[in-house]
Amino acid sequence: MNRLTEHLKLLRIKNEKALILFITAGDPTLEDTSEIMKALAKNGADCIELGMPFSDPIGDGPIIQRSTARALKNHIKLDDIFHLVKIFRQGFATPIVLMGYYNPIVRYGIERFVSACKENGIDGLIVADLPYEEGELLERQCRSQNVHLIYLLAPEPGSRRTKAILAASSGFVYCVSHYGITGVDQKPDERLDEIVTSLRSMTDLPIAVGFGISSAEKAKAACKSADGIIVGSWLIKELENGLSKPAVAADFTRELKRAIQETGSQ
């Protein structure tokens, strides 16, 4: 069974909320990324979402764009990311999901890319600019390698398209809390609880809320109905301001994990 599936099932049994944390591979260096990943894993991250740097990150806000720019200056390639995860796997079983854009995957070769994900211990894939209508080829390759393909799902709970995306998704449901780009300090959709409840009636997959989770209060609010949260821009901003990045990552993870578990135990 896929590591991500196993871990999320265990959290559900224990009535715990999932903390999924995003960082960009190669920011500020690959060596730093490796140490940050270890700190996240040791301090309660349930899944690490590892960003694949791309020159046109259309779905990302200014914080992740800055992070991506720093990584691109280091000339980070997909093979560097695969090696990074391979080394991480020597000591950690924390699920890893790659997040990025479709162009680099196509250039690398879809079948070759998904095979490399499997070989190096990657459990899932999020492609921010891939609509599910165009995802059949990637879905097929992911299924053959037991790598989850996780689609972004905008807040349209009653639509026919939502049902189709849920049917095509695996791993977990990535429920976008509001329209727009990542990292914007914007209120989640006021109907978020209603949206998550509606989605839960249509799928057995765990539901994680992302985009705009920028405080413990927002995290706890999202976890009232969702199975977990996805946090990226907030963490990267903290890392930007910290001298010891692994220490910042450790403190951030430990404190946020504790905060959302208060919601899970209610």
Q: How many helices (H) and strands (E) does the chain have?
A: 12, 9
Tens digits of residue pLDDT in 132-178 = 999 999 999 999 999 999 999 987 766 889 999 999 999 999 999 85
Task: Answer yes or no: is 264 within a domain.
Answer: no
More confident residue, 36 or 59: 36
Q: For 181-210, what is each residue's pLDDT tens digit?
A: 454 455 555 788 999 999 999 999 999 999
Give the pLDDT score at 1: 79
* pLDDT of the residue at 186: 54
Note whether residue 241 is domain-resident. yes
Q: Is residue 266 part of a domain?
A: no
Mean pLDDT of 121-130: 98
- pLDDT for 262: 83
**Residue 40: CATH number of its domain:** 3.20.20.70
Angle at 130 between CA 122 and CA 41, to 5 degrees: 30
Report how many domains make up the chain. 1
Q: Report whether 105 contacts 141 (CB < 8 A).
A: no
**Residues sharing a CB contact under 8 Å with residue 188, sequence separation 6 or more, in sequence order:** 177, 178, 209, 212, 218, 221, 222
Q: Rounded to an integer, what distance in angstroms lies between the CA atom of residue 135 and that of residue 1?
A: 23
Residue range of the domain that includes 216? 3-259
Cα four-point dihedral sign 95, 24, 100, 58: positive
Predicted TM-score (pTM) of this structure:
0.94
Answer yes or no: is 172 within a domain.
yes
Which residues are part of the catalytic machinery?
49, 60
User: What is d(CA 219, CA 257) in angstroms, rounded to the nearest whole number?
Assistant: 10
Average pLDDT in the chain = 93
In a domain, 254, yes or no: yes
